[in-house]
């Protein structure tokens, strides 16, 4: 849980522009329906120059 909080803090810092221009995160969500039920997945990606950081839930 601490790791998730740290990652969320880094995303918030990048998004507010405290270290430079604000960076807008992109969010991707997927819903899959199959014989074993419904599955969902969500991912957040932030890109600044050549560095890309992504987190999946």
Cα–Cα distance, 2 to 5 (Å, whole number)? 5
- Going across the sheet that includes 51-56, the strands are 26-34, 37-48, 51-56
Helix (H) or strand (E) holding 10: helix 2-16
Q: Locate tokens 């270290």: which residue? A: 19
Find out whether 7 and 15 touch, Cβ atoms under 8 Å: no
Against a cut of 0.75, is the pTM above it?
Answer: no
pLDDT tens over the chain, length 57 residues: 566 677 777 767 666 655 667 778 888 899 999 998 999 999 888 887 788 888 887
């Amino acid at each position: 849980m601490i790791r998730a909080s740290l990652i969320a803090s880094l995303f918030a810092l990048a998004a507010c522009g405290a270290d430079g221009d604000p960076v807008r995160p992109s969010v991707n969500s997927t819903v899959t329906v199959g014989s074993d039920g419904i599955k969902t997945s969500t991912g957040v990606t932030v890109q600044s120059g050549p560095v890309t950081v992504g987190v999946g839930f």
